[in-house]
């Protein structure tokens, strides 16, 4: 209809203005599907996938060999030379942070990871490594922030793959649709694990030292208590689809797949347009 076409035009303008914005591309692809423009949709989703920063790692064999041989200072020198000629490569910043962390220069490594995600906010690997380093430094709140960002980045990649698979299927290309779904299925669990880590860190920070279990089985007990906390929230707000969705994600991360199904079904029943809940279901 006319309104759909106007919306598509608006998003095409946004795409022209912000060509690197993956969320804009995913939304535009979904709009193309709604308009039965399956070729345009597939092309748009494919662009979103290919432009993702985690696809732009360039092999540096000489640096890799130096790292393998334990010559970390020499590897840093080579990275510095490369960074001088290619200052906008976030992957070089991340590699430098990796080596600095290996040398025990934690503060410098942290700064390099932060520079990498500042330069490239959708850089999933660097975001996870930054969160992990914060976790090692017992900075749980900052770690949770980074893991939460990583969940959103990973989900956006899954959204693009699901959109591409849908476009292939609707265009009659079942083989490519199944292959694309397989790729989406391979990376989707990352979101569940990252979300569970984020939720447990927030839960732990909220309780501080008053943890309701012995520390011997901390991770198992903590995950179970986070799941129970979400059930309590659902009991008070049963019509909130996000709470059901989050419970389902936590149950997935805990390997309780049969228990996760009703949680996602509840989310979709409350909000039939909840695409991420439907995807995980």
DSSP-based three-state secondary structure for 214: coil
Residue 156 lies in a domain: no
From first to last of the 281 residues of the chain, give the pLDDT tens digit. 688 899 999 999 999 998 878 888 999 999 999 999 999 999 999 998 887 776 666 677 788 887 888 888 888 888 888 888 887 888 888 888 988 888 888 999 999 999 999 988 888 888 988 898 888 888 888 888 888 888 888 888 888 999 999 999 999 999 999 999 898 888 887 787 777 778 777 776 665 555 544 444 455 567 777 888 888 888 888 898 888 888 888 888 878 888 889 898 899 899 988 888 888 87
Counting other chains too, the contacts that 167-175 makes at CB distance below 8 Å and 24 or more residues apart are 167/29, 167/32, 167/33, 167/38, 167/39, 167/41, 167/42, 167/45, 168/38, 168/42, 170/33, 170/36, 170/38, 171/38, 171/39, 171/42
How many CA atoms, within 13 angstroms, populate the side-chain half-sphere of residue 197?
22
Q: Are 227 and 203 in contact (CB under 8 A)?
A: no
Domain stops at, among 149, 168, 183: 149
Task: Tell me whether residue 173 is in a domain.
Answer: no
The count of other CB atoms within 10 Å of the CB of residue 83 is 15
DSSP-H helix ranges across 120-173: 124-136, 140-170
Predicted TM-score (pTM) of the model is 0.78
* Domain boundary, last residue among 124, 149, 174: 149
What DSSP line would sit under 245-265, residue for residue?
HHHHHHHHHTT-HHHHHHHHH
> Which residues have a Cβ under 8 Å from the Cβ of 24 and sit 6 or more positions away?
11, 14, 15, 18
Query: What is the per-residue pLDDT for 169?
Result: 93
Q: Which residue has 């909840």 as its token pair?
A: 274
What pLDDT does 216 receive?
Answer: 42
Is residue 108 a part of any domain in this protein? yes
Task: Judge whether 75 lies within some domain.
Answer: yes
Pick from 105, 153, 109: nearest CA to 128: 153
Same domain (yes/no): 219, 135: no
Domain interval for residue 74: 55-149
Residue 274 sits in a domain of what CATH number?
1.25.40.10
Fill in the DSSP letter of residue 71.
-
Query: Between 90-102 and 124-136, two packed helices, what is the crossing angle to 10 degrees?
Result: 30
Q: Residue 177's pLDDT is what? A: 93
106 occurs within a structural domain: yes
Q: CA–CA separation, 129 vs 106, rounded Å?
A: 12
In 3D space, the residue among 104, 105, 103, 127 whose CA is nearest the CA of residue 115 turns out to be 127
Number of domains within the chain: 2
The rounded distance, in Å, linking the Cα atoms of 204 and 226 is: 9
- CA dist 279 and 281 (Å) reads 5
């Amino acid at each position: 209809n006319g309104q759909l076409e106007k919306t598509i035009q608006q998003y095409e303008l946004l795409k022209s203005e912000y060509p690197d914005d993956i969320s804009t591309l995913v939304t535009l692809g979904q709009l193309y599907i709604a308009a039965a423009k399956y070729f345009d949709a597939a092309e748009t989703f494919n662009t979103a996938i290919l432009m993702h920063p985690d696809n732009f790692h360039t092999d540096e064999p000489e640096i890799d060999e130096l790292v393998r041989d334990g010559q970390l200072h020499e590897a840093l020198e080579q990275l510095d030379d490369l960074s001088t000629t290619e200052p906008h490569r976030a992957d070089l910043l991340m590699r430098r942070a990796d080596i600095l962390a290996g040398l025990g220069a934690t503060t410098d490594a942290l700064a390099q990871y932060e520079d990498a995600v500042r330069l490239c906010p959708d850089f999933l690997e660097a975001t996870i490594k930054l969160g992990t380093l914060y976790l090692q430094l017992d900075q749980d709140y900052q770690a949770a922030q980074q893991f939460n960002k990583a969940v959103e980045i990973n989900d956006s990649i899954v959204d693009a793959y699901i959109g591409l698979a849908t476009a292939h299927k609707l265009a009659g290309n079942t083989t490519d649709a199944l292959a694309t779904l397989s790729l989406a299925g391979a990376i989707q669990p990352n979101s569940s694990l990252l979300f569970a880590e984020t939720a447990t860190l927030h839960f732990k920070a909220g309780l501080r030292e008053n943890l309701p279990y012995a520390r011997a089985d901390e991770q198992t007990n903590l995950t179970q208590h986070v799941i129970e906390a979400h059930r309590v929230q659902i009991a008070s707000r049963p019509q909130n689809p996000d709470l059901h969705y989050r419970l389902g994600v936590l149950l997935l991360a805990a390997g309780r797949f049969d228990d996760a199904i009703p949680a996602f079904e509840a989310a979709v029943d409350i909000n039939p347009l909840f695409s991420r809940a439907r995807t995980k279901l």
